[in-house]
Amino acid sequence: MSSSPSSTPQRPPEVVVVGSGPGGATVARELARGGRRVLILERGRDWRSSRLYGTYPGALLYADRSALLFTREGLNIIRPLMVGGATSMYCGCAAHPRDWWKERYGIDLEEPAADAARELGVEPLPPELRGEASTRIAEAGMEAGMPWEPQLKFLRPERADPFDCGAHCMLGCRCGAKWSAGEYVDQAVEAGAELWTRARVDRILVEGGAVRGVAGRRGASSVARGTPFQVEAETVILAAGGIGSPVLLQGCGIEAAGQGMAMDTTVMVYGTAPGGGIGSDPPMTWSSADDELGVLYSTLIDPWLMYPIIMAQKGLRWSLTWPRWGRTLGVMIKLTDEISGRVLAEDRIEKGLTPDDRERLDRAREVAGRILRQAGCDADTIVSTPLRGTHPSATARIGEVVGADLATEVEGLHVCDASVFPEALGRPTVLTIIALARRLSRQLLASGNGPESGPRTEPGHPPGAPS
Ligand SMILES: Cc1cc2nc3c(=O)[nH]c(=O)nc-3n(C[C@H](O)[C@H](O)[C@H](O)COP(=O)(O)OP(=O)(O)OC[C@H]3O[C@@H](n4cnc5c(N)ncnc54)[C@H](O)[C@@H]3O)c2cc1C
């Protein structure tokens, strides 16, 4: 992957994209293919070709604060910082945008989501790859009258040789089956975009109510030691994620940013059963949504070495269940949480559970416990993990911080990531983020961003060419 050591772009960019997760990578690819001069600034490295990628030590290096980022209320946030953003550690699940985007906000994401799903081959895994133990959990749920369904995945087993997807693939996909936003970054670069890694944006430059560019430091793991840079552009697209974007917006005076957030707060409920556990099954192959309760259940267990660390937070007794990991079944609960808390700085986040969240989570834990007992788990072994957050979002909400066109009050400054969600998704986020980014790109290309307008054909990908 190219990464210029200079702090001057090879060509003056028309568009600066901050962050290379699914929001940033998609918009960068689409705009570069539309002929725009795009510069992508990513604070993390590109770990994908490193031998450490997808390993326990690797995950400690690319997860923010070695995966020990906690809110004041004790919720553990997993925030990968590298090329591809959080898709470098995600479970590869996909969900089509929820109906409320159109019904409540007039935003139609159906077509861009369907296009992306087709392009990326989004499908459930075939039955023989869903995992025997995971399927046992889903069947137990169905016997209890719940609508369990095979989960849509950004996974193409045929790309891997051999397909080796298990709980460990949350550390990063090593077998190549799972799509990550890094692939869109590569395609953006092929289409002429420039990528700077280890380039952390600290400030959005604003003059007379319009964006003028960005400033930051690059080249060192410690930001204080990096080389300062300043890049000018008439269009800046913030895609630094649900924590990074609101902090940058606050820095340019948009005070509503970071006031309240959603997290799709997660706990895992575990139980031990005779027979094999789900650790060697691909994560989240089956799911069941209860939209009345605002909960998504899925089949999942933490990777082997993470398990005792997480269980230690419950007490010694539970971390000593580590030897049973291979026989453990897990049901993940993802709560459609209320907007609450605040992002004050990247390491000063307030977010816990509201009384309503707590009440619904308690009910969901009971349901998960029932499913596990039905699947053969001994009742004494059933335990739920502490709170975790992997979907920081809704911190620059549509209707409050950005318009339906994802534009801020600062001319030329857009936000395109999970922070624009108007409410908690309660579902896998990535397909929705890609759809938002495709929609924004289409709007920008049609309206003409930057000094010239209209689609241009050079360099890179001709406008309208299939993606
Ligand atoms: C363990 C885990 C499992 C998950 N599983 C799923 C799943 O199965 N399906 C699903 O749909 N979702 C899943 N998610 C959630 C999903 O990955 C995220 O919601 C999604 O990636 C968010 O996209 P984004 O573009 O908003 O931001 P991110 O993916 O967070 O990308 C933001 C990028 O911006 C960079 N950045 C931040 N600040 C700056 C700065 N100041 N300057 C420059 N760069 C900056 C970051 O390094 C990062 O690369 C999972 C997440 C995790 C952590």
Does residue 461 carry a pLDDT above 70? Answer: no
- DSSP letter for 461, please: S
Does residue 432 carry a pLDDT above 80? Answer: yes
The contacts of residue 446 (CB under 8 Å, 6+ apart) are 455
Tokens coding 285:
């192959």
The number of the ligand 1 atom at minimal distance from the alpha carbon of 78 is: 53
pLDDT at 462: 32
Q: What separation in Å is there between the alpha carbon of 146 and the centre of ligand 1?
A: 30
**For residues 94 and 177, is the Cβ–Cβ distance under 8 A?**
no
Q: What separation in Å is there between the alpha carbon of 321 and the centre of ligand 1?
A: 31
Q: Which of 315, 82, 33, 289 minimizes the C-alpha distance to 180?
A: 82
Does residue 450 carry a pLDDT above 90? Answer: no
Indicate the pTM of the whole model.
0.95
Q: How far is CA 418 from CA 24, 264, 398, 409, in A?
A: 11, 12, 11, 18
Which residue bears the tokens 């770990």? Answer: 47
Q: Please give the Cα distance from 217 to 7 (Å, whole number).
A: 9
pLDDT at 351: 98
Does residue 417 carry a pLDDT above 90? Answer: yes
pLDDT at 198: 96
pLDDT at 467: 31
pLDDT at 117: 98
User: Half-sphere exposure of 194 toward its Cβ, with a 13 Å CA cutoff?
Assistant: 19
pLDDT band, residue 459 (cuts 50/70/90): very low
3 state SS of 129: helix
The verdict on the CB of residue 283 being under 6 Å from ligand 1 is no
Tokens coding 200:
């952390």
Please tell me the residue having the least CA distance from ligand 1 atom 30.
241
The share of the chain scoring above pLDDT 70, in percent, equals 94
Please tell me the residue having the least CA distance from ligand 1 atom 48.
85
pLDDT at 288: 98
Tokens coding 216:
């930051």
Q: How far is CA 39 from CA 84, 285, 368, in A?
A: 15, 36, 46
Chain mean pLDDT for the chain: 93
Domains of the chain, CATH where assigned: 1-63+79-90+180-258+394-467 (3.50.50.60)
Give the DSSP per-residue string, 377-401. Answer: --GGG-EEPPPEES--B-SS-BTTT
Average pLDDT in the 240-250 region?
98
pLDDT at 226: 87
The verdict on the CB of residue 43 being under 6 Å from ligand 1 is yes
The share of the chain scoring above pLDDT 90, in percent, equals 91
Which residue bears the tokens 């318009």? Answer: 403
pLDDT at 240: 98
Average pLDDT in the 5-32 region?
94
pLDDT at 7: 80
The verdict on the CB of residue 172 being under 6 Å from ligand 1 is no
The verdict on the CB of residue 244 being under 6 Å from ligand 1 is yes
Using one digit for the tens of pLDDT, what is the confidence trace for 314-342?
889 999 999 999 999 999 999 999 999 99
3 state SS of 323: helix
Using one digit for the tens of pLDDT, what is the confidence trace for 191-241?
999 999 999 999 999 999 999 999 999 986 555 578 999 999 999 999 999
Residues in the chain: 467
Q: What separation in Å is there between the alpha carbon of 105 and the centre of ligand 1?
A: 23
Q: Please give the Cα distance from 184 to 27 (Å, whole number).
A: 9
pLDDT band, residue 453 (cuts 50/70/90): very low
Out of 169, 430, 431, mutate this one to test ligand 1's pocket (max ligand atoms within 8 Å of CB): namely 430
